[in-house]
Structures are given as C-alpha cells and as structure tokens.
Amino acid sequence: MRRRTRLFILAGAGVLALGLGVYSWRSPGAQPRGDPASRAAALEAAVSEIEAGRKTTPLIGEPTSGGDATVTFLAKRTGGREPRIVSDVTGWGEHVDGTFDFTAGTMARVGRTEWYALQANVAPRARIEYLLAYGLTDYQLDPHNPRQAAGPQLGGLKASEFVMPGYLPPPEFAEPPVSAAGLITEATVDSRKTGGAWRVVVYTPSGYRKNGNYPVAVFLDLRSGQVSRVLDWLIAHQAIAPIVAVFVGPPSRGGEHPAGAALRTFLTDEWPAWMASRYGVSGSADRRAVIGISYGAKDALDLALSSGGGPGAFNGLGLLIPGRRIGRADIEAIAGRRDPHLRVAILAGQYDRANVATARSVRQALADAGHAVDYVEVPEGHSAVTWTHHLRMVLVSLFGPASANTTPQSG
C-alpha cells in the first residue's frame, strides 16, 4: 500500500517545516530593545494598573515580523520569596531525561517594586498553561489572571491559562453539547489470563443498533466524559460515522493508566470475545484503532505493532501527546515492523518541551516503515486540555470519510 504521510504543525500562521526552532524565551535579565528607563517605566505603569484591577496578567504584545508575540509575565514577591514562572513556555523546568531545573522561569525584579517580570515569545494561536512557583512545593495560580485551564474536570491540577489573539476554541467545547448524545455503560471484566480484573467503559452512539457492525476505538484510559462529548459532536456533524468507543483501565477509580504486558494480553486474547458477545462491533482489524495518551502511548504503539493479524489486532493507532516512555529502542524497533500496515494519527504539543522530540521521532520512524501517518502539532503544552481539545483531529484521521470501511453495516 502506498505510504501516506501528512504533516501539520499549527504554530503561528500556516504550516512550518519539521525541525524549525519554534521555542524561545528570554533569559531572566534580558529586556526588549529600546531605552531601559522607558522599559522600566512602562513595566511599573503596568504594575500600577494591575494592582488597581484595571489590567490582568500576563501582558500580551503585538506580533513580531516573525509571527510570534512577546508575552510578559508579572508576579509579586510574597513572604520575602521571589516568584518563578513554571509553564509550557519554560518547559515546566523539565528536561528530556526526566530531571528538573528548579531555576527555570526565574524572573527579574521590576525596578524597586515587589514585582518581577519574565518575557517569552509565544506563537500567535497558542494556549499556554502556567503557575507561579515560590518554592519547591509551593505552586500557585496567578491571582491577577481570572482564566484557568479545565484541568480539574479532566482529573488534572488547576493551572492558570492564557490564549493568544489568534487562538480559536474547539467548536465541540465552545458550543453546547449536542442533543443526540451517546450512552455510557460500565462493567468489570475478570481476566483469567492476567489473574485480575479490568474496568471497561463502553460508549455507544445515538441510534446504536445491537445488530450493527460498528468500528471501534479503544482508549487506554478511563476518562470517558470529555471524549464522549467529542464523539457526540463529530457524529452529529457527520465528521465521522457512528463508532463504539471502549475505555479500559484497572477497576480501582484511582488507577487511570493501565500499562504493560497484562494490558496487552487482556486486549489481545480476552477483550475481543467479551466485546463481540455483547455489542454489535466489527471484528476486522482495519475497523479498529487503539489510542494511547501520554504515558499510555507506548502501550498503544506496542499493541498495534505486535498484535499481528489475530482477533485482537488493531490496524489503527492514535497517539495523543505521546510521552518519552517511548524510548530510543522502541523507536528503532519500528523499522522492522512493517506488517500489518497501520493507519496512524499523532497529536503533539509544540510547547511539550520534554516530549515533542519523541513524537516527531515516532512519526518519522512509522512513516519510514511505510505506515500511513497523519501528524498534528499544536501550539500548546502537555496537558489533558491539549489532547481533549484536539482529539477531533485524531478521530477524523482514523475514522473520518477518508478512512476505509467506517460506515456501520447491518450484520
């Protein structure tokens, strides 16, 4: 089959070539060009406006000739402790090897005030999350920014958030939920081969028929609520044909991220028969996709590449903000796994500093091995909001009109 690779990097205006330097932030003492006294006066005037409640933070400047805009973070010293900015644009201080730099995001004092500033160059369509750090364990929301990311609704931590002027919210979340909503059911499945139990959450679309032959998306994650909303919107707008979605995880409510050989054994050897006996779903690997998120992306990749043509095979693969748990050896092994031919969709974050290189390497390795790869890189970081807000792109790639055999059939 002909190799298909499509690359989209949504950073700034238009499409950028892979590998361009898109990350930039000013060192703590750096200042924009111009008269230092004027710069200091402008920052002190901005601080007065913020304290009076007439401005919010951060301050977003006009785009430069290169397309990015300068964003100025401002935070006040408290209890004698100076603030830092930990954020998507400073990489949260996390290195690719998993270590942390606890000086990242250090701010420069604004004159003789109690305020500190840090500037960053940010893509014009970006959505950025950040916190104020006053110590190794003291992370706070920005009190002068009323906007927060939707993390708590997705099981994540609260974070302050800002969006650039060119940012467009996803319609599936900006609009009210569609009235033709799917149905969620839950079950605990005992596994003889793994010696334990698995929690399985199943989404069936509006108008579901028990004698249907629906395509299936298997998520290695239990956060079904926001995904269901995206599925409802896509199906109602005919962006994808109706599908059944399955969310797999451990029975404990706190265990959201299944991983390892036991998970792959359950999905390959036991889940197909359990699912077929209860739901009208396709048994064809070409009409099934496995989707891994962050930490779970490695398991999704392993499952798709190793399941072969058996009853538990998946010829569709979705990787959402894949993490560096996918190592060099995993990427190198892709070259020898050309069969079955996979249809792959990868979502990555431009500001996911610790993981974006992994996503790019996996994309290249899969394309070089002959698999059909769609790659989308958005100007955001590594968060649950990022993958839910852009899940639409991955689902359309895997189950949209351009995908083969996605229309439910009577069976």
Q: What is the DSSP string of 60-108?
A: EEEE-TTS-EEEEEEEE-BTTBPPEEEEGGGGGGB-TTS-B-TTTTB-E
Gap between the Cα atoms of 63 and 217, Å rounded = 40
Q: Give the pLDDT of residue 31.
A: 40
pLDDT along the chain (411 residues), means of 10: 42 29 31 65 93 95 83 94 94 81 92 94 94 92 93 67 94 92 94 88 96 95 93 96 94 62 89 94 93 94 83 91 93 88 96 94 96 96 94 96 47 33
As given in the structure block, the two tokens for residue 183 are 């149905």
Cβ-proximal residues to 216 (8 Å cutoff; 6+ apart), any chain:
243, 244, 245, 246, 275, 281, 282, 287, 288, 289
Q: Give the pLDDT of residue 259.
A: 65
The fourth-level CATH superfamily of domain 31-165 is Immunoglobulins (2.60.40.10)
Portions of the chain given CATH number 3.40.50.1820? 172-399
**Is domain 172-399 given the CATH code 3.60.9.10 in the classification?**
no
Portions of the chain given CATH number 2.60.40.10? 31-165
How would you write 177-207 as a 3-class SS string? CCCCCCEEEEEEEEECCCCEEEEEEEEECCC
Distances (CA, A) of 296 to 180, 236, 252, 279, 299: 30, 29, 17, 25, 5
**Which residue type is seen at 305?**
L
Q: Give the pLDDT of residue 2.
A: 36
Q: Give the pLDDT of residue 282.
A: 92
- Secondary structure letter of residue 392 according to DSSP: H
Phi and psi torsions of 337, nearest 5°: -120, 80
Q: Give the pLDDT of residue 214.
A: 96
